[in-house]
A and B are shown apart, each in its own frame.
Chain A
Amino acid sequence: MNAPSQPRLRKAAAPDGPKRSLPASLSRNAPLVPVDSAGGQALAAVIAILTFLAALCAGGAELVSASSAQWRSEIAREVTIQIRPNPQRSIEQDVERATALARQAPGVEKAQAFTKEESERLLEPWLGTGLDFNDLPVPRLIVIKIQEGAKPDFGNLRQSLQREVPGATLDDHALWVSRLSTMANTIIGIGVFLVVLVLVAAGLAVIFATRGAMAGNREVVEVLHFVGANDDFIAREFQRRFFRLGLRGSAIGAGAALVLTLLLGLVTRSLRASPTGDQIEALFGAFTISWSGYAVVVLIALLVALITGIVSRLTVRRFLNESG
């Protein structure tokens, strides 16, 4: 019943004195469903922890992805010719001929032959120093640097080497690049899987918390029904509350992950030039994530908050349907 006016009631009103002008709003816009209880705070903490873990997984995957791309591009730009010694041939002439052939190949930026001494030095880590390598058939290496962006076909060079320098083999590192790609992709895949797993865990935590909140606010829900709220309105109220709770938790978690990444970046930078720093840098690069990495972390925080809101809404609808 929506009567256009209620004149008699209005006239009968005001035993509390003359009507004063009212402020713009008398409502505090308070939430209709209170979920900021101890349970709500615990859920925010769980969401913060899960977002922190998800952000670390995503950041780690991004770091590996960037590092592996760097490794692969470096390795892919380098090709090696190995020349094994042959008593019937002069190895120096073979090296010169192979270097010349390599320089003629299209897409080659530089071809640098290792001297005998340099080649022997490469063996020192395995055989030790102070050895006489004259009796050993130490192979010689020619390192070819490929022009950036070029993808030369080394079929012709391989044939020329076979014809003119028997005992020379061309290694384009394809096997290594393929293995590195597989390893990096596996790590990235595991990272993505962990992120998904953490998001699922966040969703499950929200389901339990929502059902708890519904049970704890049964009377509030009943009153809302009696005053004319439909299930969708009630579900929207819960969604709004849980979204805010989720956003708070995920912002804290993602913020902590970003701070940790920045701290690790500072630590590795301070260790640069030390053996440990070199090892870390060799493995992870400069231990800084790119802008896309930061964007992924922010995206995860938003995604967790969205999941929190949507899952709570669906849970409320289901709970209300179950309870008739």
Chain B
Amino acid sequence: MRAYYDEEFDDSAAPVVHFENVGVRYGMGPEVLRDLTFSIEPNSFQFLTGPSGAGKTTLLRLILLSVKPTRGLISLFGEDVSRISKDELTGLRRRMGVVFQDFRLLDHLTTYENVALPLRVQGKEESSYRAEVVELLRWVGLGDRMHMLPPVLSGGEKQRAAIARALIVRPDLLLADEPTGNVDPSLARRLLRLFIELNRLGTSVVIATHDFSLMDQLDVRRLVLGDGRLHIDE
């Protein structure tokens, strides 16, 4: 564990995510997010919250580099992303895990194949990750659902599969958009414990949610979005 931390964060003086006066507008409309300046430190845990439509998902997409800022500077893992190549972008995304609000599971792949997808696209042999994927599926309670296709899973099962897919690569940064929105409170607590566990292993975690009961379980930093601006509760 110790060696793992030392190895992984030798370049760790730099924050995992750093935003400097970032603004986003869609087309010719008004800025939906403006003057965002914040950092996400290595091995940190934070909630991203705010009312519906405040721009939580847009902020996560900015970090994922699927939305480009109209102004400002974004750096990920210490690297300015304004001029990175496609290969570098792929490299950065491989260090991130993401749980989408709408799950984004591939309907033609089984639960097992969906969870193993990040490893498969990295060209890894199935024998090298099979046991690990099965173990994670069992941990999130999908051990008996691994051969099923997503359309036959319940909302909660899909959500757990999406979380497992994000965790399987043990990312440096985990972005989760309403990860407990479709599960019962006890499973929500278990999933939160999983995120905490992952954080202890060195992953920076950002959970976007407006579920106060979830946030009240942990005394961590809150990034609060409102009126397009960010306010930080330390």
* Residues of A near any B CB (own CB < 8 A): 1-10, 12-17, 19, 22, 24-28, 30-32, 34, 219-220, 222-231, 233
B113 touches A27 (CB 8 A): yes
Which A residues are in CB contact (< 8 Å) with B113? 27-28, 30
Q: How far is A226 from B132 in the complex, measured between Cα atoms in Å?
A: 21
Which A residues are in CB contact (< 8 Å) with B127? 24
**Min CB–CB distance A130 → chain B (angstroms):** 84
Contacts A13-B139, A26-B130 known; A231 to B122 CB distance under 8 Å? no
A32 touches B139 (CB 8 A): no
**Min CB–CB distance A3 → chain B (angstroms):** 5
**Min CB–CB distance A277 → chain B (angstroms):** 55
A9 touches B139 (CB 8 A): yes
Which A residues are in CB contact (< 8 Å) with B202? 1, 3
Which B residues are in CB contact (< 8 Å) with A230? 86-87, 90
Q: How far is A12 from B140 in the complex, measured between Cα atoms in Å?
A: 10
Tell me which residues from 37 to 63 in chain B have a Cβ below 8 Å from any Cβ of chain A: none
Shortest 5 CB-CB distances between A and B: which pairs? Answer: A16-B143, A228-B94, A229-B121, A13-B139, A16-B138
What does the 1/0 interface line of B54-83 toward A look like (CB < 8 Å)?
000000000010100000000000000000
Which B residues are in CB contact (< 8 Å) with A5? 4
* B135 beta carbon closer than 8 Å to chain A: yes
B169 touches A228 (CB 8 A): yes
Given A3-B170, A5-B4, A9-B198, 4 extra CB contacts under 8 A:
A9-B194, A32-B120, A224-B117, A227-B118
Which B residues are in CB contact (< 8 Å) with A26? 112, 126, 130, 133-134, 146-147
Please choose the segment from B22-30, B102-110, B219-227 that sits at the chain A interface, where 4 or more of its residues have CB less than 8 A away.
B102-110
Which A residues are in CB contact (< 8 Å) with B33? none
Contacts A3-B170, A3-B202, A228-B90 known; A27 to B138 CB distance under 8 Å? no
Q: How far is A269 from B1 in the complex, measured between Cα atoms in Å?
A: 82
Which A residues are in CB contact (< 8 Å) with B170? 1-3, 6
A227 touches B126 (CB 8 A): no
List the A residue with the shortest CB-CB distance to B139: A13
Which A residues are in CB contact (< 8 Å) with B109? 30, 32
Contacts A22-B130, A230-B90 known; A220 to B66 CB distance under 8 Å? no
B135 touches A225 (CB 8 A): no
* B95 beta carbon closer than 8 Å to chain A: yes
Which B residues are in CB contact (< 8 Å) with A4? 4
* B8 beta carbon closer than 8 Å to chain A: yes
**Min CB–CB distance B92 → chain A (angstroms):** 9
Contacts A1-B172, A22-B130, A228-B93 known; A222 to B66 CB distance under 8 Å? yes
* B165 beta carbon closer than 8 Å to chain A: yes
* Residues of B near any A CB (own CB < 8 A): 1, 4, 8, 64, 66, 86-87, 90, 93-95, 98, 104, 106, 108-110, 112-113, 116-118, 120-123, 126-127, 130-136, 138-139, 141, 143-144, 146-147, 165, 169-172, 194, 197-198, 200-203
Which A residues are in CB contact (< 8 Å) with B110? 28, 30
A22 touches B134 (CB 8 A): yes
Give the secondary structure class of A's interface. Answer: loop
25 A-B pairs with CB atoms under 8 Å apart are A1-B170, A2-B170, A3-B8, A4-B4, A6-B132, A8-B200, A8-B201, A9-B135, A9-B136, A9-B194, A12-B194, A15-B138, A17-B143, A24-B127, A26-B134, A27-B113, A27-B120, A30-B108, A34-B108, A222-B104, A223-B106, A223-B117, A226-B66, A228-B90, A231-B86
B165 touches A227 (CB 8 A): yes
B4 touches A227 (CB 8 A): no
Contacts A6-B170, A8-B200, A227-B165 known; A233 to B121 CB distance under 8 Å? yes
B126 touches A10 (CB 8 A): no
B104 touches A6 (CB 8 A): no
Which A residues are in CB contact (< 8 Å) with B198? 9
Which B residues are in CB contact (< 8 Å) with A25? 126, 130
Q: How far is A224 from B98 in the complex, measured between Cα atoms in Å?
A: 12
Contacts A22-B131, A26-B130, A30-B113 known; A12 to B104 CB distance under 8 Å? no
List the A residue with the shortest CB-CB distance to B105: A223
Which A residues are in CB contact (< 8 Å) with B147? 26
Which A residues are in CB contact (< 8 Å) with B112? 26-27
B139 touches A227 (CB 8 A): no
B139 touches A15 (CB 8 A): yes
List the B residue with the shortest CB-CB distance to A14: B138
**Min CB–CB distance B43 → chain A (angstroms):** 11
B93 touches A226 (CB 8 A): yes
Which B residues are in CB contact (< 8 Å) with A24? 127
A3 touches B90 (CB 8 A): no
Q: How far is A19 from B137 in the complex, measured between Cα atoms in Å?
A: 12
Which A residues are in CB contact (< 8 Å) with B139? 9, 12-15
A16 touches B8 (CB 8 A): no
